[in-house]
Structure 1
Amino acid sequence: MAQVAIRLWTFPLAIALLLLVAAHLAWWLSLRAGYIEPCNPYWDGCTSISRAARHGLGNHLFRLLVLPCAVLLAAHWWLASRWAGGSAPSRLLAALGVAAAAALGVYAAFLGTEGAAYGFLRRYGITVFFGCGYLAQLLFLRRWRGSVRSLQRIPWGAMLAVCIAMLLLGAVNVVADAMMQDRDRQDRLENALEWQLGLLLAFWYLLQAWAWRAQRLLLSLDR
């Protein structure tokens, strides 16, 4: 029976590219259709990712890209847990990753729908996605730390720096929410931070793809 070898680094690479393309393609299509105002969302915060992907063709293409991305994300974290070993922390890594993937799928599936129940699923779907995904990233780095070689210190350090930057963005959002009185400015800041957080998240997976590619990790499948 022949075996097919799949390079593991293609999983985080595909996740990063799908997330980036889905968000920016939806933003561009919604801008062209007049659903959102023209601006730089990373700086001006004129629209959130959800609003940019809520209407028209942008919504359909966003879901078409993000739903398969959720499946890839679940497979990726399961593979990451196998790579990290069979211990309890590794099983926790898989559980957190699968929870993040399921939440992303729920968020994408109900984006653009109306109703209080659907709004609840969207809101908490994206919250669980970022929260569980972030915890999985930290646990991944912790498990990897003990076996980092000299050639792997650069991507490991860069991935840790991205995690710190995401934590700082979250802290800025909490402080701004508590101190700002102007609701419009608060919403714009929250939108800008959401875009920046999404960019950092994709960059983390790109760094992981770089690290796994250097390690030449393969998944062998019987055909």
Structure 2
Amino acid sequence: MRPQHIAWMIFLIPVIAVHGAYAIGWWEGVAFQCNPYIDGCTTISRAAREGNAIFFFRALMMPLAALLVIFWYLQQKWLERMTQKSQLHVFILGSIGALFLILYVDFLGTEGDFNRFLRRYGVIFYFGLTVLAQIFSINTLHKLGDKIDSTMRRYIYIQLTLIILCWLLGMGNLLFKEIGFSWADMMENNIEWHFALYMWLHFPFVALMWKRTQFAWQFSHRN
């Protein structure tokens, strides 16, 4: 399997898991029938834990955590090849985020305040550390300047735009909750769906950059 295939899987698996779980809940009549990207009628967690959807969600998201660790290892090695500098921090941040994803998925659908606490902070740190690893990756590539071609720079600018959107959504969510708008909960749900999608959209552009630079990795040697 080529490295770019793993990057594509990191994008496709959560998209299929989240939307597939919501579709199962809709089909079984236990999920809100709306467009969560517009109406904000449900959270990703609530959509994934209703009915049989949770089994579908867990079956995809648990392996995703393992693939994320592999992805961030490959990203570290690729960035080191591009910069000739250590990028261990990218691997550490991304991998810890993947571990928090396991925590979140494992406690999804369970009852109790402590389990709810673990679930909530599991997803917060998964999102936060993943985005932070993405930011460090973008910053590292941006510093290369003219050493990368215009197509690569275009991919980086798209990734940067996605990160800025995630940041604006996060700040907007905090602002709405602090002001105490009556529709703040609905907007928080809406923001969660968009934030997750924009974060996942980062990975296809990594796949395109890996392919463009002919990145290949074998555990026995570096190409």
Which stretch of structure 1 is more off in the superposition, 6-15 or 127-136? 6-15
1:129 is displaced (CA, Å) by 0.5
- Normalising by structure 1, report the TM-score: 0.91
1:221 is displaced (CA, Å) by 4.5
1:87 is displaced (CA, Å) by 4.2
8 Å contact from structure 1 (residues 104, 125) kept in 2: yes
Paired residue for 2:79?
84
- Distance in 1 of aligned mates of 2:93 and 2:181: 35
1:58 equivalent to 2:53? Answer yes
Which stretch of structure 1 is more off in the superposition, 108-117 or 17-26? 108-117
Paired residue for 2:90?
93
What percentage of residue pairs aligned between the two structures are identical? Answer: 33
1:181 is displaced (CA, Å) by 3.5
Superposed CA RMSD in Å reads: 1.4
8 Å contact from structure 2 (residues 21, 57) kept in 1: yes
Which stretch of structure 1 is more off in the superposition, 73-82 or 59-68? 73-82
- Distance in 2 of aligned mates of 1:24 and 1:144: 32
Q: 1:143 corresponds to which letter in structure 2? A: T
Paired residue for 1:159?
159
- Distance in 1 of aligned mates of 2:148 and 2:134: 16
Task: Point out which structure has higher relative CO (alpha carbons under 8 A, 6+ apart).
Answer: 1
- Distance in 1 of aligned mates of 2:38 and 2:163: 20
- Distance in 1 of aligned mates of 2:57 and 2:137: 28
SS at match of 1:47: coil
Which residue of the other structure, out of 133, 141, 146, is the alignment partner of 1:144? 141
Paired residue for 2:12?
17
SS at match of 2:63: helix
Which residue of the other structure, out of 97, 103, 125, is the alignment partner of 2:122? 125
- Normalising by structure 2, report the TM-score: 0.91
- Distance in 2 of aligned mates of 1:49 and 1:171: 19
Structure 1 runs of 4+ with >4 Å offset: none
- Distance in 2 of aligned mates of 1:206 and 1:181: 36
- Distance in 2 of aligned mates of 1:44 and 1:29: 19
Q: 2:30 corresponds to which letter in structure 1? A: Y
8 Å contact from structure 2 (residues 31, 50) kept in 1: no
1:34 is displaced (CA, Å) by 2.0
1:202 is displaced (CA, Å) by 1.6
